[in-house]
Structure 1
Amino acid sequence: MAFVDHGRGGTGEPVAALLRPGNAGGNTAAGHITTARLALAQLPKHYRRGRQTLIRTDSGSGTHEFVAWLAQRGRWLSYSVGMTITDAIHAAVLHVPADAWTPAVEPDGEIRDGAWTAELAGDCLAGWPKGMRLIVRKERPNPGAQLRFTDADGMRLTCFATNTIDIPIAQLELRHGQRARAEDRIRAARATGLRNLPLHEAAQNRIWLEIVSLALDLLAWMPMLALTGKPKLWEPRRLRLRLFSAAAQLVTTARRRHLRFADHLPWTDIITSAIHRLAALPNPG
């Protein structure tokens, strides 16, 4: 599933999804390229190529084929692609000088305690597209967390590739980490009907996927346009319980229709404010 960020503090809207067999691999370059094409096709034409459009993925997309497709001449897309910690990357991390590590930062600009970032060079870049940069983060794991084979010196390692050159390393790492917003949308998609596909035929499930995608569009845009504060962050289950299932009366009087909610409903103010906020929006047509 591919997402596009709203740029207004939202968590991203799902714009493309690809239904694949259950035994499909997680890092199949062909599937990632197809989904990226579908996502780009839904953007305005002037955003379908150029550095102002950023493709951001997790390490499942960190393949030679996908990165080469992103870096293809004439496409000129910006990318921030998670990478698996290979032996070459692991060896390069061990040779990074101590003074080359930069403290990682939080979204508010404060230094993140126990986390550092650095750029890798050397053999770990061999065979990758020209202009690609490898940024690695090392971080103290949470208490009780088990180390992995890919960790080094008791530090948890993560790595991503990018072709952006005009942003400090710490900001690049922060920008890539914000792709975790997509996990919220994936969780919302599962809660909306994609946890288990209900039908037997692939064609029928594609129709189901289209229906759920429409619901996800509503769940993405409605909080951004109609809600404020904490309700803007509510997930599908809470929205269904507090807003979508609220009982009301539709009353017609003096040739006007009024939607009346019970005064004792705790969420009446939120619902009515959302309705007024939506009604005040200009007609997109």
Structure 2
Amino acid sequence: MAKQTRFYLGRVLKRGGIDAEKIAAAVEQPVTIEYRGTRYSFIDFEPMSAAGASSGFYAKLVKYKQQGAVTVVHEELHASRSAEVQNLIDVASPFVYVPQFSGIAYRHIWNAMPSDQFERVFKELVETKYQKFFVGCDVEPISDFRTFIKRLSRLDLITELRAKVVPPNPLFGPCWKSLSEYLRKRKLEEAQFVEIGGAGIQTRLKDIAASVQAEDKPTNWPELMEPLLDGVGDAAILMSADGYGRGVVKGVEEGKSVVIRTSENQKSFLFDPDPSPLRLFEIAYDQLQRVSDEQGLEHP
């Protein structure tokens, strides 16, 4: 059996004139960008769909050099020689995009295309396609909600909450519904929230954590959390944990300062490193549906 590798789950956040169709066009008919002699682009685009699922696509984010070299056999001399090759691929990270969830699943490749590099390059390629004119596209991690919340429960004191969030599309979470509606009412493309309280913020995040730990049925989490939310900072942190932004919680644990980031507990799964496009799409769709079910995300 072939060794499996890790694929991460994220949200593709869209601002300005970007929508799902334009993201697909940016991948199907891509631009090329270059950093220090290394080029990046999208290749091998394929439209995808799964049983009962909306359409999406498969592609690879490729990293390559315009001029490279490979070692070949020189048969007459029975020796190896270096041969020049144009557009030599260094690494290619397969991924699928599922617009129904604003979701993406992409391969994390250590030391070659790690997750943070994939996110940065994906953003740059899509925005460059449209000359960065009133467009914005970010890939943000979807947190393992249970792990993130349990980590918060160990804090003795929460002294700072920071979150950057964008309006969700097409899903929303009951836990932060009022904040989502506020963003839309104000016609905001992005909002940042900072709450600082050196003596300890009056947050309900620890209450939420206690409820999650005591609850055996993940689908009931939203019902437990909604009555507990009475602070915009709490809602913003939970919204960013669902992948619609990025959040940081600072606090004190056993007398030591601690920093907890939503990006540190990213949802992932193991799969073949060179996967069947359709099979990867089906598995990613199932994973994203499971996240939505567990965290109570809904369509408006």
Please give the range of the TM-score, normalised by the shorter of the 2 chains.
Answer: under 0.3
Max radius of gyration: which structure? 1
What TM-score comes out, normalization by structure 1 length?
0.26
Which protein has the bigger strand share? 2
What TM-score comes out, normalization by structure 2 length?
0.25
Higher relative contact order (CA 8 A, sep 6+): 2
Which protein has the bigger helix share? 1
